[in-house]
Amino acid sequence: MVFNYTLSKKEFFDFHKKYISDSIKCNKYFIKNMIGLLIIYCIMYILVWKELKISIIIGFTGSSIIFSIFRGKFFLNYLKKKELKDFYSYSNLAYLFTRTNLKFDEIGISLDTIRSNKTIKWKYIKDFYIVDKNVIIRSFSDYDILIPASAINSTEDLENLIKIFKEYTSKYPQYSYPKDIEFI
């Protein structure tokens, strides 16, 4: 079975934008920022006069509520600025936004792009997910694969892919976004 596709940045971010707020990494980011806010407000509470203490409590409560409501958006902006800024500099991500040819055979998954050719053997496949007809294949190596829904032509292709994974890896698809994803 062969898939040919080119993943765009927009398609990549739109897919992850829906689910990233439930990931472990996002929750760690949220907790770290809430602790930072708490420390700042505690220092302010200790250092200010008695008349301003109620306004500090109100300010902390308000900013905590705002941060809680918009935490997914804040985290996605954080990822865009910090982690995705140097996307092309990582050699294991060089394939992500180029023309990709995926071939599934008895050896494993052959990943052919302009910049690299890599074969991931079946024993190194960690798990695979099907979310909104997008397929995420995670491996124990440094290659995680996202097959966009636009590359999967029919439900028959998806069923064949599931059958291939059952045959070679004995793994069944999971139909939810992976909580421990490292943002591919």
Whole-number pLDDT of residue 97: 77
Reported confidence tier of residue 164, pLDDT bands at 50, 70, 90: very high
* Residue spans of beta strands (DSSP E) within 30-163: 99-104, 108-112, 117-121, 125-131, 134-139, 144-147
Whole-number pLDDT of residue 49: 77
Higher pLDDT, 146 or 181: 146
Tokens representing residue 77 in the block: 């902006």
Q: Are 116 and 124 in contact (CB under 8 A)?
A: no
Threshold 0.75, pTM exceeds: no
Planar angle of CA 109, 113, 118, nearest 5 degrees: 40
Whole-number pLDDT of residue 33: 84
Higher pLDDT, 45 or 79: 45
Whether 166 shows a pLDDT value over 70: the answer reads yes
What's the CA gap between 90 and 107, in Å, rounded? Answer: 26
Q: Are 103 and 109 in contact (CB under 8 A)?
A: yes
Scored b (16 or more CB within 10 A) or e, 97-126 reads: beebebebeeebbebbbeeeebebebeebe
Higher pLDDT, 173 or 85: 173
SS3 content of the chain, % helix, strand, coil (to 5): 55, 20, 25
Percent of the chain with pLDDT over 70: 89
Dihedral (CA of 113, 11, 70, 20) sign: negative
* Sequence letter at residue 117: N
Higher pLDDT, 71 or 161: 161
What's the CA gap between 29 and 60, in Å, rounded? Answer: 18
Planar angle of CA 59, 65, 69, nearest 5 degrees: 145
**Domain residue ranges of the chain, discontinuous segments joined by +:** 2-7+90-169, 9-83
Q: pLDDT tens across 77-136, in order?
A: 777 666 555 554 555 555 677 888 899 999 999 988 887 788 889 999 998 899 988 999
Choose which CATH entry (3.40.640.10, 1.10.287.3510, 3.30.980.10, 2.30.29.30) describes domain 2-7+90-169.
2.30.29.30
Whole-number pLDDT of residue 94: 57
Tokens representing residue 184 in the block: 């591919």
Whole-number pLDDT of residue 16: 77
Whole-number pLDDT of residue 103: 92
The candidate with the shortest Cα–Cα distance to 96, out of 113, 109, 80, 83, is 113
What residues have CB less than 8 Å from 105, skipping those under 6 apart?
none
